[in-house]
Amino acid sequence: MRFTAEALEKRSDSKSSKQLLNLLPKILPSDPLLARDTQRFKSHKQKPATVNLEKRTGVLEPSKLIPTPSLANWNSLSPVGRDKVSLVGNAQGRLAIAEMENELWETRFLTVPFPRSNKVTQIGVSRASSSANLIHSPHNLKVFFQGPNTKFDLSELENVLGVGPCQQGGFNLLQYTTTQSLVLLKYDAEGMPKTTVALDLTAPEVANEKWLLAEGKEHLVIASSGFLSWMHSDGTFQGTALHAEPTSLGLSPSYREISALITTRDEVILSIPAKKSNRPPSTINLHCNSGGQPLACFTNDGCIVIVDGMRGYLYHSSNYAHPAATLVLPQKLGNPEGVAALGARGFVVLGKQQLALFE
């Protein structure tokens, strides 16, 4: 029996070892301890097969858990370019920012107080020599642009309804003017104003709604309570209804087949613009939640990641009709707060003081 134990310890994954493990309880069927110990050994040595992101099918588990800085309660996660992610959180009443690259953290604190609503929207802005963070507070409709060598102060702007990234670099602000109109303020990655575009788009009680926006090469997407609109390069709009307030908005990385990924409190929706401007966009309901707030993002190679509680799904860019893989998150991660793309194919999930890394 000792020889058998030593052989199994060295070659537990071989075919002969698996056959031997199945036979062991039958040698002494009257010995319940042998059956119990054999099952424990199998559970420990022969874990359920998981598949890494190269194959993208089956069951996916995080490759590692990365501790986040313990100086703040982090509740917002955003990508910064392809190889960084940033966190924004509350550090004893102040705004704190932490950026991770190659699993190394850099943390800085802002002099502004954390919003009383305990909610912010942030965008990581990738620049030539460094990175910056654009932070929007829906509580007071203010924005803060922070980063090394930042030369432009945007904190004096009033009535900023929403912020969003631009795939060509830089970012956009949506502002409600004193003449009760909506304008799009375009900035480069350094925070320098570029252009201002008046939008022929109105909605009641605009200041009391949540607004999200994202800009691609030829499209601008705006989402708010009850609707989503695609704005084309010629200024025309295509709209569709949303049944709840949007909580996140992201654009696919492909310019050829552009699509928008929207989450609400109970759904994950994919929106695809129609080729003709007089047609509404197509809508695919990818997921309905199971009791919690669903999270979703595109990976940098175009796959879709959906996280709902401690489980999730991954959709290949070639088939958004059916998930190709199931995600399993460890219980010690805690309640997921965000998900973001990282690297060429991977992504991270923000939990309580940890990031789950899928690479």
138-175 per-position pLDDT tens digit: 777 888 887 766 667 788 888 898 899 887 788 999 99
In a domain, residue 127? The reply is yes
On whether both 155 and 279 belong to a single domain, the answer is: yes
On whether both 160 and 288 belong to a single domain, the answer is: yes
On whether both 263 and 312 belong to a single domain, the answer is: yes
305-347 per-position pLDDT tens digit: 999 989 999 999 888 888 999 999 999 999 999 999 999 999 9
Domain that holds residue 287: 58-358
On whether both 189 and 222 belong to a single domain, the answer is: yes
- What is the bridge-based pairing of β-strands 325-328 and 58-60? parallel
On whether both 106 and 155 belong to a single domain, the answer is: yes
In a domain, residue 228? The reply is yes
Q: How far, in Å, CA of 325 to CA of 55, rounded?
A: 9
Q: What are phi and psi of 70, to 5 degrees?
A: -90, 15
- Per DSSP, what are the bridge partners of residue 297? 305
Q: How far, in Å, CA of 153 to CA of 146, rounded?
A: 9
In a domain, residue 50? The reply is no
On whether both 84 and 153 belong to a single domain, the answer is: yes
Number of domains in the chain: 2
In a domain, residue 52? The reply is no
- pTM assigned to the model: 0.80
193-222 per-position pLDDT tens digit: 899 998 877 654 565 578 899 998 888 999
Short-list 285, 294, 278, 298, CA closest to 344: 298
In a domain, residue 156? The reply is yes
Rounded mean pLDDT, 83-91: 91
Express as a percent the part of the chain with pLDDT over 90: 38
**Chain-centre distance of CA 281, in angstroms?**
23
On whether both 346 and 286 belong to a single domain, the answer is: yes
In a domain, residue 53? The reply is no
On whether both 138 and 34 belong to a single domain, the answer is: no
On whether both 26 and 93 belong to a single domain, the answer is: no
In a domain, residue 314? The reply is yes
On whether both 64 and 184 belong to a single domain, the answer is: yes
On whether both 22 and 73 belong to a single domain, the answer is: no
In a domain, residue 136? The reply is yes
- DSSP collapsed to 3 states, the chain: CHHHHHHHHHCCCCHHHHHHHHHHHHHCCCCHHHHHHHHHHHHHHCCCCCCCCCCCCEEECCCEEEECCCCCEEEEEEEECCCEEEEEEEECCEEEEEEEECCEEEEEEEEEECCCCCCCEEEEEECCCCEEEEEEECCCCEEEEECCCCCCCCCCCCCEEEEEEECCCCEEEEEECCCCCEEEEEECCCCCEEEEEEECCCCCCHHHCCCEEEECCCEEEEEECCEEEEEECCCCEEEEECCCCCCEEEECCCCCCCCEEEECCCEEEEEECCCCCCCCCEEEEEEECCCCCCEEEECCCCCEEEEECCEEEEEECCECCCCCEEEECCHHHCCCCEEEEECCCEEEEECCCEEEEEC
On whether both 229 and 334 belong to a single domain, the answer is: yes
Neighbours of 158 (CB within 10 A): 11
Give CA torsion, residues 271, 218, 224, 178, to 10 deg: -170
Rounded mean pLDDT, 118-133: 76
Residue 272 belongs to domain with CATH number: 2.130.10.10
